[in-house]
Amino acid sequence: MTVAGLDVRVLSAEAPAAGITSADCERTGAEHPFAVDLDAAEPRAVSPGRGFPRTASTRTPLVFDVTARTAKSEVRWYLELRWTRGTRSGTLRIDDGGHPFRTGAVE
């Protein structure tokens, strides 16, 4: 299977909840890191390394570490992973157990 891309879909961006403070949860050393700026006009998953396409199989799976940030909103969003395998292609929605991810700005 070839992973052709990773797209960001923003559902909503609202004022952040008051009184939330930050504890930095970012992991380091990921094999396939991606950053998402949810404040951008068109958020994208950006890798500091190699982009797409990438190949995956049952013997060589891909694990993406996606870090999303916003400085001004509470954003509900999800990812769409585009794939191809031979003549077949599709899109896999990546979310939080059937719900959009929720990322918020913190003090």
Per-residue pLDDT reduced to its tens digit, 26-82: 444 557 889 999 999 999 999 888 888 899 988 988 888 999 999 999 999 999 999
Residue 13 has pLDDT above 60, yes or no: yes
Taking the CA atoms of 56, 59, 60 and 61 in sequence, report the sign of the dihedral they define: positive
Contact 9, 77 (CB under 8 A): yes
Full-model pTM: 0.80
Structural domain spans, the chain: 2-104
Gyration radius from the chain CA atoms: 15
Tell me what pLDDT residue 18 has.
Answer: 60
